[in-house]
């Protein structure tokens, strides 16, 4: 599931109105962001990386001041490539001040948060960081995740960007691309933290395959909002594509909305797909079981009656360390589930 009432079907989000004060002066002061203000050369000279737009970014030195989408920064942290991340944008802190789940193991108190929601990217603050490089996901071709359309031209003037695809490609392939980028940024991909995480990922994947074969229950990835119930498409979401390739019997909606990520259903029709297990979107912007309990149609779903609901991180962290707990959690849910249809 990719969108809720706060997001559009294209995953590009609600755009903020107006502009930041003083942006023109900051753009001029930063000189277009072609080289940033990193201290010296890292990695022995020029740096280059070709992203999933087939766009080659070339810099005089390895980036020393990186700003990234929070989930992207968290994935790079897992690979040991977060040393030079100075700023993040996207879900970073909960109202309590604790890290948002998308932040993973990233120390959110050591980076500048440019905005905690879709339309909050603070360009003035971004410029003040003198960035060398911006890195984010790409759910739609050419669309930079959490970079608002009404400010993207100003943002692009400050520093070049790298975008890695986050959909329509199986999870493991995206993780491999993140590893490639992390290596280019200076991470040691042979370090125990990386190799151990990969070994655990492979073990977890094998166990999920075995569980799906031994107990072939039907699973529906879904999400709930105040007005709609969303049935997600395992043919486009990277994690669901991977789970399906391992043999998980994921329900495929037959009437997808524009964009292809899900089918939106009225709550009266929430029982259209009768699943044994519900993989429920656990993002902070979505309704959780306690919130959904007041909806009669939710309470009547067979999987809900059987208490066969498991959390779904619908925007997974694209690293071995980030993905493995999700796979292990789904494996347990499938192993323990009973057919209720």
What angle is formed at CA 81 by the lines to CA 45 and CA 245, rounded to 5 degrees?
120
Q: Residue 14: what pLDDT?
A: 24
Q: What is the DSSP string of 81-101?
A: --TTEEEEESS-B-TTSSBPG
Q: Residue 254: what pLDDT?
A: 93
Per-residue model confidence as pLDDT tens digits over 93-118: 999 999 998 999 999 999 999 999 88
10 is a domain residue: no
How far is Cα 233 from Cα 42, in angstroms, rounded to an integer?
42
Total count of domains within the chain: 2
239 is a domain residue: yes
How far is Cα 149 from Cα 8, in angstroms, rounded to an integer?
13
- Ranges of the chain with pLDDT below 50: 1-42
Asked whether residue 129 falls in the same domain as residue 241, the answer is no
Residue 89 CB neighbour total at 10 angstroms: 31
How far is Cα 3 from Cα 136, in angstroms, rounded to an integer?
18
Q: Residue 173: what pLDDT?
A: 96
Domain boundaries, position 119: 23-189
Q: Residue 194: what pLDDT?
A: 97
33 is a domain residue: yes
Q: Residue 5: what pLDDT?
A: 35
Q: Residue 336: what pLDDT?
A: 97
Q: Residue 286: what pLDDT?
A: 84
Give the residue from 189, 223, 252 where a domain finishes.
Answer: 189
The CATH number of residue 220's host domain is 3.40.50.1980
Give the residue from 159, 189, 219 where a domain finishes.
Answer: 189
Asked whether residue 184 falls in the same domain as residue 213, the answer is no
Q: Residue 22: what pLDDT?
A: 33
2 is a domain residue: no
| pTM of this structure | 0.85
Q: Residue 287: what pLDDT?
A: 85
Q: Residue 216: what pLDDT?
A: 97
Asked whether residue 158 falls in the same domain as residue 259, the answer is no
How far is Cα 232 from Cα 240, in angstroms, rounded to an integer?
9
14 is a domain residue: no
1 is a domain residue: no
Closest CA to 223 of 311, 132, 94, 335: 311
Give the residue from 165, 189, 213 where a domain finishes.
Answer: 189
Asked whether residue 129 falls in the same domain as residue 264, the answer is no
Q: Residue 37: what pLDDT?
A: 30
Q: Residue 297: what pLDDT?
A: 92
Q: Residue 44: what pLDDT?
A: 59
Closest CA to 261 of 239, 285, 233: 233
């Amino acid at each position: 599931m990719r969108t809720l009432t706060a997001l559009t079907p294209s995953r590009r989000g609600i755009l903020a109105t107006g502009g930041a004060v003083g942006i023109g002066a900051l753009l001029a002061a930063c000189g277009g962001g072609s080289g940033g203000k990193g201290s010296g050369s890292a990695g022995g000279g020029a740096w280059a990386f070709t992203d999933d737009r087939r766009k080659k970014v070339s810099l005089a030195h390895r980036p020393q001041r990186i700003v990234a989408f929070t989930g992207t920064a968290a994935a790079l942290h897992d690979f040991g490539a977060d040393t030079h991340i100075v700023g993040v944008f996207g879900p970073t802190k909960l109202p309590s001040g604790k890290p948002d789940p998308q932040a993973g193991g990233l120390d959110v108190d050591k980076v500048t948060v440019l905005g905690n929601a879709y339309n909050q990217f603070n360009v003035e603050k971004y410029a003040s960081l003198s960035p060398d490089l911006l890195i984010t996901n790409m759910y739609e071709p050419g669309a930079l995740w959490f970079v608002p359309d009404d400010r993207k031209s100003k943002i692009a003037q400050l520093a070049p960007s790298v975008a890695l695809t986050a959909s329509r490609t199986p999870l493991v392939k995206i993780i491999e691309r993140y590893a490639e980028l992390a290596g280019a940024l200076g991470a040691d991909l042979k370090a125990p933290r990386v190799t151990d995480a990969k070994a655990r990922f492979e073990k977890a994947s094998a166990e999920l395959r075995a569980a799906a074969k031994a107990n072939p229950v039907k699973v529906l990835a879904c999400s709930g909002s105040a007005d709609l119930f969303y049935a997600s498409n395992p043919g486009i979401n990277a994690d669901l594509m991977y789970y399906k390739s391992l043999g998980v019997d994921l329900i495929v909606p037959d009437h997808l909305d524009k964009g292809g990520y899900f089918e939106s259903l009225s709550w009266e029709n929430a029982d259209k797909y009768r699943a044994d297990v519900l993989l429920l979107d656990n993002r902070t912007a979505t309704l959780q079981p306690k919130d959904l309990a007041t909806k009669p149609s939710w309470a009547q779903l067979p999987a809900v009656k059987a208490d066969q609901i498991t959390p779904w991180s619908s925007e997974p962290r694209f690293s071995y360390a980030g993905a493995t707990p999700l796979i292990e959690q789904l494996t347990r849910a499938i192993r323990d589930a009973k057919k209720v249809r």
